[in-house]
């Protein structure tokens, strides 16, 4: 059995790296593939005026201006700043943000009306003017303005990645995976999570879950995504200040599609894989799982990467009995530790009867080719009945938790049933 190190994949222009010393039958280590503007402000002067027209109408008192954040005259504001204001008993109704060159900045109000979020990070070392309109509990309209300047580009940043790509079609178990290097400190996760937006069409509730070291967060729904769902993601991380003195590096976004429902279920007791498409059983496939010394992981995993042909090289394995170099066809990665579904012509004689692999799910050449042609990245595979439990984070393990266990890993409260993390 080999020892495998998880290595980061290029996501956009970023290479992320991490390690996970686990075992399996493959050694291919490549992966496929924040704080709202401060709600503080300097007290604005209250202006009032009275006037009476020639018609004899009673004089009207002007409403006091709003206290806008970032505060008027403030300097060194993060480029992640959101525009907010205090509206007693009311809410914001309109925000117009313009840069020093006169260009208007696009943005959207949060669903709860608490602030206005620019559609892209603000520019570094740039002056902006925000004109904010709000309506109070009595229906009166208030307005306020603030001119502020953003900070210079910081030198210390976190790396980030998004394992979702635009114009791609994924399986129903594809989680949204955000990755950070170094990990996000616990005290910062709520603020970061508040800037990670996910929208689904048709709408489905969901939640985020952080792994312990803060290097990854998964987003999923209570159940697998509905076939045909469109998922739109924005990790609005650029310029987010963290408690360790670092800042978010860039915004990342993607819009992807979920395909048909396809699921693989493997039972060690029968040594069979049952394959379902749109809920119907379409094939039963004999398998050979990991032998006693190198058992396969039991749990719900996700196809993360597909390679029609590759080479497994385990010459760095401490146990000489598990060292080999072998060409592999129709390989589908399901853990970072090196477990794959793949064709294994050498074990076809025992598939369905005996476990002989180094942890992989061995199938025949014909079934390997057939499965490879049917699956998508993001399709789920559940293995049960082996001596090893799937380790959290050894692959995209978001679906290996019950919904209650999953939401317990959120940095923000999650309503019953979940809620879309969208603007």
Catalytic residues: 342, 360
Quick one: which H or E segment has residue 311? strand 305-313
The whole-angstrom separation of Cα 151 and Cα 121 is 12
The whole-angstrom separation of Cα 55 and Cα 295 is 90
Whats the size of the chain, residue-wise?
423
Q: What single-letter DSSP state applies at residue 377? A: T
- Which residues lie closer than 8 Å to 223 by C-beta, 6 or more apart? none
CA proximity to 337, closest of 21, 17, 1: 21
- Under a CB-based contact definition with an 8 Å cutoff, are residues 383 and 394 in contact? no
> Radius of gyration (Cα) for the chain, nearest Å?
27
The strand pair at 272-277 and 262-267 is best described as antiparallel
- Under a CB-based contact definition with an 8 Å cutoff, are residues 18 and 215 in contact? yes
409's tokens? 């890993």
The whole-angstrom separation of Cα 31 and Cα 18 is 10
For the stretch 119-155, what's the b/e string if a residue is b when 16 or more beta carbons lie within 10 angstroms of its beta carbon? eebbeeeeebbbbbbbbbeeeeebbbebbbbbbeebe
């Amino acid at each position: 059995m080999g020892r495998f190190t998880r290595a980061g994949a290029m996501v956009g222009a970023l290479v992320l790296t991490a390690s996970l010393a686990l075992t399996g039958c493959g050694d291919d280590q490549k992966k496929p593939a924040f704080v709202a503007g401060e709600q503080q402000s300097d007290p604005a002067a209250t202006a009032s005026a009275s006037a009476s027209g020639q018609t004899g109408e009673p004089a009207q008192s002007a409403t006091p201006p709003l206290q806008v954040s970032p505060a008027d005259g403030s300097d060194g504001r993060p480029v992640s700043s959101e525009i907010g204001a205090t509206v007693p008993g009311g809410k914001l109704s309109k925000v117009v943000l313009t840069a020093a060159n006169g260009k208007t900045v696009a943005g959207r109000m949060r669903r709860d009306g608490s602030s206005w979020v620019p559609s892209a990070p603000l520019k570094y070392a740039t002056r902006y003017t925000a004109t904010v309109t709000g309506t109070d509990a009595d229906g009166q309209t208030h307005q306020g303005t603030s001119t502020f300047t953003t900070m210079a580009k910081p030198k210390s940043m976190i790396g980030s990645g998004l394992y979702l790509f635009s114009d791609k079609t994924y399986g129903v178990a594809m989680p949204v995976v955000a990755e950070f290097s170094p990990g996000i400190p616990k005290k910062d996760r709520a603020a970061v999570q508040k800037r990670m937006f996910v929208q689904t069409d048709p709408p489905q509730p969901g939640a985020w879950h952080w792994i312990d070291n803060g290097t990854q967060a998964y987003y999923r729904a209570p159940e697998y995504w509905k076939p045909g769902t469109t998922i739109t993601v924005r990790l609005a991380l650029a310029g987010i200040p963290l408690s360790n003195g670092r800042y978010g590096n860039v915004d990342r976004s993607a819009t992807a599609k979920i395909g048909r429902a396809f699921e693989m279920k493997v039972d060690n007791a029968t040594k069979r894989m049952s394959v379902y498409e749109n809920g119907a059983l379409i094939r039963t496939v004999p398998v050979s799982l990991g032998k006693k010394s190198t058992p396969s992981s039991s749990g719900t995993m996700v196809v993360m990467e597909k390679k029609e042909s590759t080479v497994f090289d385990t010459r760095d394995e401490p146990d000489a009995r598990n060292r080999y170099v072998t060409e592999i066809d129709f390989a589908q990665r399901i853990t970072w530790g090196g477990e794959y579904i793949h064709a294994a012509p050498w074990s076809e004689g025992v598939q369905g009867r005996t476990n002989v692999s180094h942890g992989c799910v061995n199938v025949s050449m014909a079934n390997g080719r057939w499965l490879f042609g049917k699956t998508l990245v993001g399709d789920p595979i559940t293995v049960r009945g082996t001596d090893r439990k799937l380790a959290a984070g050894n692959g995209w393990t978001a679906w290996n938790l019950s919904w209650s266990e999953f939401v317990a890993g959120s940095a923000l409260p999650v309503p019953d049933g979940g809620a879309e993390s969208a603007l």
